[in-house]
Structure 1
Amino acid sequence: MATVEHSATLPATPEQVFDLLERVEDFADYSDLITAIEAQGNEHYRWYVHAIGVDWTFDVKVTEKVRPSVLAWHSVDGVSNQGRYELEAVPEGTRVKLILEYEIRNRLVARAVQRAAKPLVGKVSSQILHRVEERLKGQY
Structure 2
Amino acid sequence: MTKLRAEVDVDAPVSQVYNQWTQFESFPEFLGAVKSVDQIDDVRTLWNVSIAGREHSFYADIVEQVPDRQIAWQSTDGKFHTGRVDFTPNAEGTHVALEMEWEPEGLLEAAGAAIGIDDAQARTDLRRFKEFIENRGSATGEWRGEIHGGVEDSRPGEQSGSVGA
TM-score range, shorter chain: 0.7 to 0.9
Percent identity of equivalent pairs: 22
Q: Deviations over 1:106-133 (max 9, x none)?
A: 4535522413322222233332332122
Following superposition, the deviation at residue 30 of structure 1 comes to 2.5
Give secondary structure in 2 for the equivalent of 1:73. Answer: strand
Two-structure CA RMSD over aligned residues (Å): 2.1
- TM-score, reference length from structure 2: 0.74
Q: Does 1:74 align with 2:74?
A: yes
Give secondary structure in 2 for the equivalent of 1:88. Answer: strand
Residue 123 of structure 1 is matched in structure 2 by 124
Unaligned 5+ runs, structure 2: 141-165
- Structure 1 or 2, whichever has the larger Rg, is 2
Residue 111 of structure 1 is matched in structure 2 by 110
Q: Is the 8 A contact 2:52 2:108 kept in 1?
A: no
Matches within 5 A, 1:1-140: 1-104=1-104, 106=105, 108-114=107-113, 115=115, 116-136=117-137
Unaligned 5+ runs, structure 1: none
- TM-score, reference length from structure 1: 0.85
Q: Is the 8 A contact 1:18 1:68 kept in 2?
A: yes
Question: Counterpart amino acid of 1:58?
Answer: F
Following superposition, the deviation at residue 24 of structure 1 comes to 1.2
Question: Counterpart amino acid of 2:39?
Answer: A
More strand by share: 1
- The whole-number CA distance in structure 1 between the counterparts of 2:61 and 2:137 is 26
Q: Is the 8 A contact 2:6 2:97 kept in 1?
A: yes
Q: Deviations over 1:52-107 (max 9, x none)?
A: 21212221111111110101111111221111111111111111000111113x45
More helix by share: 1
